[in-house]
Structure 1
Amino acid sequence: MLLSDPVNRVELRPVRYQFPVARGAAYDDNWLVIAGTVATPEGAWSFADPCLLTDEARRIGVWLRAVAAGSVAVTGPDADGEWSPDVCFIEPVLALSLAERGDDGATVRLHLSLEAAPPSRPDAESPDVYQYFVAVRVATVDLLRAADAWDAELAAFPPR
């Protein structure tokens, strides 16, 4: 899945199960290692981390389609200036929120914490999750394309 605009680029893809052989533990058997590459004006980095369960990963495509359909509300920081994503997961490494909507697309925030945060950030290992994000302006057609690509990659990783 690729989301990019002239300023920022984020690519995410599932690469493998955390544990190659299912061990009969439904929870542990379904962790996916997600690889990411990020490029922003402040730098570029990559990461790979077992941060999504198979069912959680499927929520990303659903959310992208909902954004494209206009059924996700724009969110901002709370009264204390803290960000709370629309979609978050058990491991607080990745999350998503909607920054802005227009007639032809939307600006999506990809919240990158802990292992996915830029290594140059002094708070890269801080428990203050979701506060760093990359905002990417994406046309509606590209949101749908990203959702389709994400789902196609996930087809290789059914729940076990």
Structure 2
Amino acid sequence: MRLSDHVNGVSLRPLRYQFPTAIGDPYDDNWLVIAGSVTTPGGRWAFADPCLLTQEAREIAHWLRAVAAGRVAVARPEDGEESSPGLEFLEPVLAFDLVDRTEDGAVLRVHLSSAAAPPGWRDEDVYQYALDVRLDTSAVLRAADGWDRALGAFPER
């Protein structure tokens, strides 16, 4: 899945299950190692981390489709404070937010913490590093479809 505009880009793909053999534990059996590459004006980096459960990973495509359909509210922090991301997961490595809606698309904020944050970044609090990506509606839907295809090899075990 690629979320990219003329300034920022994030590519994500599931690599493998964290543990190759299922043991009958609903959590340990379903952790996915996610590979990511990030491009910003300040630099490029990559990461790989077991940060999403299979069910959580599937939520991303559902959320993207809801964004494209106009069913996700734009994040509105109160009194200048940071809001919690609209889509976050058990491991606080990746998160997503809708920060603006345009006539033909949306601005998504991708939060990157821990292993996904830039090299040398010290994040005392999660979700301190984020980048915004402006996408038209068709790009949001292509990202959702591509993510679903990539997850096809990783059913819930």
Is this a same-fold pair by TM over 0.5? yes
**Aligning the two structures, in what range does the TM-score lie when normalised by the shorter sequence?**
over 0.9
Equivalents in 2 of 1:98, 1:69: separation in Å? 12
Note if 1:149 corresponds to 2:146. Answer: yes
The one-letter code of the counterpart of 2:7 is V
* 2:39 alignment partner, SS class: strand
Note if 1:138 corresponds to 2:149. Answer: no
Q: What's the Cα RMSD here?
A: 1.1
Which position in structure 1 is the counterpart of 2:84? 84
Equivalents in 2 of 1:10, 1:136: separation in Å? 9
**TM-score when scaled to structure 2?**
0.96
Which position in structure 2 is the counterpart of 1:6? 6
The one-letter code of the counterpart of 1:72 is V
Superposed counterparts of 1:10-159, under 5 Å: 10-79=10-79, 81-121=81-121, 123-124=122-123, 126=124, 128-159=125-156
Which deviations, in whole Å up to 9, do the C-alpha atoms of 1:8-61 show, x marking residues without a partner? 010001110000111111210000000000000111100000000000000000
Equivalents in 1 of 2:78, 2:53: separation in Å? 28
How has the CA–CA distance of structure 1 residues 139 and 37 changed in structure 2, closer, same or farther, with 3 Å as cutoff? same
Runs of 4+ in 1 over 6 A off after TM superposition: none
Structure 2, gaps ≥5 residues long: none
Structure 1, gaps ≥5 residues long: none
Give the CA deviation at 1:79.
Answer: 3.2
* 1:26 alignment partner, SS class: coil
* 2:120 alignment partner, SS class: coil
Equivalents in 2 of 1:120, 1:44: separation in Å? 12
